[in-house]
Chain A
């Protein structure tokens, strides 16, 4: 029977790897996801038919509840709310690993030194992931407010948490049988630490946090695999852990910041007072005039940002792009890696609005071509197109890679008002000679232009 189970696990591991490999192109990605799901199904079935399972009733309760919640949330979630969904899924993964390691310990508390250490690590990462993800969800959905929360005693609480975790962990590892209560100390410490560490991070840094928590949930699963001696958990957990770490790294690079800087301070608290110097005139433009310029344009690049998601303007954007194309204009989308609230967020929103994926271009691919472009239309993006990142060495975002829209012949910025973006920094792009500001709700402005095209 063990033979069947292990063969099943081997096949599952193969299918997971194959599934991720097929994610390397949008054309095969759908198939890849199905392959990965098939691997999971096989793994679950061979686990269920194993002889050591003596009672199925309880299992069905757990599986039933999980399936219902999973199906409903996957069906109902709006594409704009995808970061929240992923945050909650991360949390479930962390929580599940924590409970699994704890349950395994309670069932058989005779741990060797190695198993005890790994149990504690698994519980610690699982706990931090669980509460950290819930706070991340709260921030993304606006329940807790997006501002970083730092108060005088917060460092103090963090230090106490660390001391509790280290001390309880040490006591537990030194004698897992006698010091059973210590495991609850570690759990409590890790849960509080998870809350504290994400609380202090601003909403604009959420792409990094989500990617990091994603990685944690994989590492926690891998740790739980060590505890119960299941190789498939170790391998699959590590694949996820690697994925999260790579994404974290990409996000950090795209903001020109180190991970430590994101986690322990940075943007959220910088004051914008030093940018009150003379900026020149802002040139507003009306939707009619914007239409006249766009109608004459041969090539247009659209730069979306989180503001597009907030205004739900992705469909209106696509509609405008279709009219432009009908008019013989070449339309491309330039996507900055940290546009939106999670890696790849803009791509999903535009795909939802039926923008074909060939039109979605990465920052590095499109920057060299921007000099040949007639019009850049910036919709709800701000910091990712801020020329200070190249021109002003004193700027806090200096060195961050940006989409160099100023190279285009003219730039239209669709914006509600002159408020600075997430980083709280003024944007000199708005004062450039070739920039025209189209004030108002992005969706309405786009509708105005589209109406002009229809006439």
Chain B
């Protein structure tokens, strides 16, 4: 990584952090549990790195590690989104009758 690249990445880091803080502060406390499980699913984004490494690595050791990483990240993604969906399904408005 050269200097120019680092500055470019720091630029993204700064913007993403501010955006994250702004977005999350708007989430009401009623939804904090789904927010956590949903953001867990997003942190399974490591899946992308693990997939491309597991599919392209030549060293056997790194392939094995990357596959375990794929499995763990997939649990995060699949489990996270499904359980969040299950929870949000329960949040209902009052039935008007």
Residues in chain A within 8 A of chain B (CB atoms): 16-17, 19-21, 23-27, 29-30, 32-34, 36-37, 40, 43-44, 47-48, 50, 52-56, 58-59, 61-63, 65-67, 69-71, 73-75, 77, 79, 82, 85-86, 89-90, 92-93, 95-97, 99-100, 102-104, 106-107, 112, 114-115, 210-211, 214, 217-218, 220-222, 224-226, 228-244, 246-247, 250, 335, 337, 342-345, 347-348, 351-352, 354, 356-360, 362
- Separation in Å of the B13 CB from the closest CB of chain A? 6
B50, closest chain A residue (CB): A100
Specify the main secondary structure of chain B where it touches its partner: helix
Contacts of B7-47 to chain A: CB distance below 8 A = 9, 12-13, 16-17, 19-21, 23-47
Contact status of A237 and B45, CB under 8 A, knowing A58-B63, A70-B79, A92-B72: yes
* Complex Cα gap A158–B31 (Å): 36
A82:B87 contact, CB within 8 angstroms: yes
Partner of A236, one of B35, B43, B61, B62: B43
By the criterion CB–CB under 8 Å, are B35 and A356 in contact? no
CB-defined contacts of A85 to chain B, threshold 8 Å: 37, 79, 83
Which residues of B sit under 8 angstroms from A220, Cβ to Cβ? 43
How many A-B pairs with Cβ below 8 Å? 367
Enumerate the 6 nearest inter-chain pairs by beta-carbon distance, A residue then B residue, closest first.
Answer: A66-B74, A242-B20, A70-B78, A344-B32, A62-B70, A53-B55
Known contacts A33-B38, A107-B59, A214-B39; is-contact A344 B82 (Cβ 8 Å): no
Given that A99-B66, A106-B62, A221-B45 are known contacts, is A93 also in contact with B76, CB under 8 Å in the complex? yes
List, in ascending order, chain A residues with CB within 8 A of B90's CB. 79, 348, 351-352, 354
Complex interface: chain A residues within 8 A of B45 (CB)? 40, 43, 221, 225, 232-233, 236-237
How far in angstroms is the closest Cβ of chain B from A331?
11
- Are A29 and B44 in contact, CB atoms less than 8 angstroms apart? no
Of the candidates A66, A73, A225, the one whose C-beta lies within 8 Å of that of B72 is A66
Q: Measured between alpha carbons, how far is A47 from B44 in the docked complex, in Å? A: 14
Pick the contact of A99: B44, B69, B79, B93 (CB < 8 A). B69
Question: Which residues of B lie under 8 Å from residue A82 when comparing CB positions?
Answer: 33, 37, 83, 87
List of A residues within 8 angstroms of B25 by Cβ: 246
- By a CB distance below 8 angstroms, the chain A residues around B68 are 62, 99
Given contacts A89-B76, A114-B1, A230-B48, contact A66 B71 (CB under 8 A): yes
- A104 CB contacts on chain B under 8 angstroms: 49, 53, 62
Question: What's the least CB distance linking A76 to chain B, in Å?
Answer: 10
Report 19 cross-chain contacts, Cβ distance below 8 Å, ordered by A residue: A20-B35, A26-B28, A29-B31, A30-B91, A43-B48, A44-B48, A53-B55, A59-B51, A63-B74, A70-B80, A92-B44, A92-B73, A92-B76, A96-B73, A107-B58, A221-B43, A224-B46, A232-B48, A347-B33
Which of A55, A56, A99 has the largest number of chain B CB atoms within 10 A? A99
A242-B21, A343-B33 known; A73+B79 contact, CB < 8 A: yes
The closest CB in chain B to the CB of A250 belongs to: B29
Whole-angstrom CA separation of A16 from B81 in the bound complex: 12
Closest chain B CB from A91 CB (angstroms): 8
A89/B13 in contact, CB under 8 A? no
Contact B70 A63 (CB under 8 A): yes
Nearest residue (CB) in A for B8 is A231
Among B1, B37, B67, B86, contact of A89 (Cβ-Cβ < 8 Å): B37
Contact of A242 among B24, B61, B71, B77 (CB under 8 A): B24
CA distance A19 to B85 in the complex (A): 12
- Flag if B20 contacts A239 (CB, 8 Å): yes
Q: Are A235 and B83 in contact (CB under 8 A)?
A: no
A230 surroundings in chain B (CB, below 8 A): 48-49
For the complex, what is the distance from the CA of A410 to the CA of B87, rounded to whole Å? Answer: 34
